[in-house]
Amino acid sequence: MRSSNPVLGRAFNQRGYAAFDPSTINSESAALENLYSAPAASSLRTGRMTIDDVVTRTGILFAVLVTVGAAAWTLNLGGGAIMLGIFGGFALAMVNIFSKTVRPGLIVAYAAFQGLALGAISHLYNSVYDGIVSQAILVTISAFAGMLFAYKSGRIRVTPKFTKVLTTALLGYLVLALVSFVAYLFTGSSVYNVGGLGILIATAGMVLAAFFLILDFDQVQKGIDAGLPEQESWRAAFGLMVTIVWLYLEVLRFLSILRGDD
């Protein structure tokens, strides 16, 4: 009988009992020591996605977003930049979502368009409500850290029921957003900005976006466990960026409603 275990193989692959060879002790001990002292395998050695890959790609995307956003804020590009960023970002998001091939260039371009839109939007909000952007960033970071802790500690677990509830809630939220947009086109007003109802809807949007971070974390972990190719780390980073941007916008809108009611 042959054994796949390298230690037991020397015994099982001989006839009768294993022969003891003292001369091999030193060489085998050195091999084991080298094995345990070797650094953990990275994507460069395995070709598979790691958590470091996802963190690095996410950092790159947010560096692009912040750089472009800072330029849009400083130059105060206005409504034209907002529309270009929103529609350009949406088009690239659709390509990246439905493309079977990971396209890092398009994902980086998406981050740039999002930065253009967010920089202009943030400047607009901050000109009306001074300091609101720094508050929104702080709340977004806190929500991200809280959701990450809840997921890693096991306080929130991703189950089929959990995923189904969030997906159903998202569909309902999108329908409400569409109705609100159509109402705004015909009446010039939106339920999103109507007192208590507006606060309720904004709160629901924040909570929904925050919980979708849990799904993102779970997808990243499943991808790593499944040994997905290193290139997929770009797709994982893209998914995280989409959710974080959504969360930031919901927080920004929620704070603006609160301050508008003061």
Over residues 64-87, mean pLDDT: 91
Residue 220 is predicted with a pLDDT of 92
Q: Is the pLDDT assigned to residue 8 strictly greater than 80?
A: no
Residue 11 is predicted with a pLDDT of 29
Q: What is the pLDDT of residues 197-239, one digit of tens each?
A: 678 888 888 999 999 999 999 999 999 999 899 999 999 999 9
Q: What is the pLDDT of residues 44-72, one digit of tens each?
A: 456 789 999 999 999 999 999 999 999 99
Q: What is the dihedral of CA 122, 127, 132, 133, to 10 degrees?
A: 30
Residue 149 is predicted with a pLDDT of 94
Question: What's the predicted TM-score (pTM) here?
Answer: 0.77
Residue 4 is predicted with a pLDDT of 37
Residue 46 is predicted with a pLDDT of 60
Report the DSSP beta bridge partners of residue 156: none
Q: Is 217 left (phi over 0), alpha (psi -120 to 50) or beta?
A: alpha
Residue 24 is predicted with a pLDDT of 45
Residue 111 is predicted with a pLDDT of 96
> How big is the chain by its Cα radius of gyration, in Å?
25
50, 228 contact by CB (below 8 A): no
Q: Is the pLDDT assigned to residue 156 strictly greater than 70?
A: yes
pLDDT, the chain, mean: 80
Grouping H, G, I as helix, E, B as strand and the rest as coil, residue 210 is helix
Report the DSSP beta bridge partners of residue 48: 229
Residue 15 is predicted with a pLDDT of 39
Sign of CA dihedral 36, 226, 93, 175: negative
Query: For the chain, where are the alpha helices, taking DSSP H only?
Result: 9-12, 25-37, 43-46, 51-75, 79-98, 104-128, 132-152, 160-187, 195-225, 232-260
Residue 208 is predicted with a pLDDT of 93
Residue 28 is predicted with a pLDDT of 46
Q: What percent of the chain has pLDDT over 70?
A: 76
